[in-house]
Amino acid sequence: MNKFESLEKKLNYQFKNKSSIEEAFQHASFANEEEGLKSYDRREFLGDALLDMVVSEYLYQKYPSKNEGDLTVLRAQHVDEHALNAIGLYLDLDPYIKFRPQKYHKNQVSESMRGDVVEAIFASIFLETGYQETKEVILHVYQSLLSQDEDVFTGQKNYKSTLQEYYQKKYHKLSINYQVYKTQGPPWDCIFYTYCKDGNRIIGQGFGGSKKEASQMAAKDALERLKKKHEQV
């Protein structure tokens, strides 16, 4: 049985050495207590450099009129801890990550740990295949995530990502979806009304001048309802 099947599908890549990829998921707290194991630290270092290169090249080609300062800001938004954490959640990495739970609050994977593993995975692919194929995997992941949430790399408050992360930690599932249930007004001045749903159950609703804004407001409403139930988000 291939335990990486779901991850490989999202990456659009099959690992060539399943035993070697294990290193990408081993936090130092785990590796240091098991003889012969290595942590993901070195691969994280390599993956960080790879991401900078791939994202820099991508942004340079996508925005030919932007200056160096603008591109630097955009790159930071695409590779910072928030962005890498969002990628880790999209890839559903938590079940694979090995660490010593007693050393971490609530025995949960932290945002920084999740981001480190993202970088280590990309480094592992590079070590197997080289730069070009790794670049294709990275761009595939970024574009897949953007197709789900256009605001994920804007650096702005993202209620949808916050809600998704909460469900991942609390219920260990990725079941949030959004449904436009009504529109009002002419096409050039339309208001969208959207449900935020956990499977088929409505947990929030919102409206806005675009589908994107309406879904963000629906996620915000869902988060506020959770807080009213005295659940920590």
Q: Residues with catalytic annotation?
A: 48, 119
CA 111 – CA 166 distance, rounded (Å): 12
Q: How many CB atoms lie within 10 A of CB 158?
A: 19
Distance of CA 176 to the CA centre of its chain: 14
φ, ψ for residue 108, nearest 5 deg: -110, 155
CA 230 – CA 128 distance, rounded (Å): 47
Asked if 90 and 144 touch (Cβ cutoff 8 Å), the reply is yes
Cα dist. 187→29, 65, 93, 214 in Å?
A: 56, 31, 41, 16
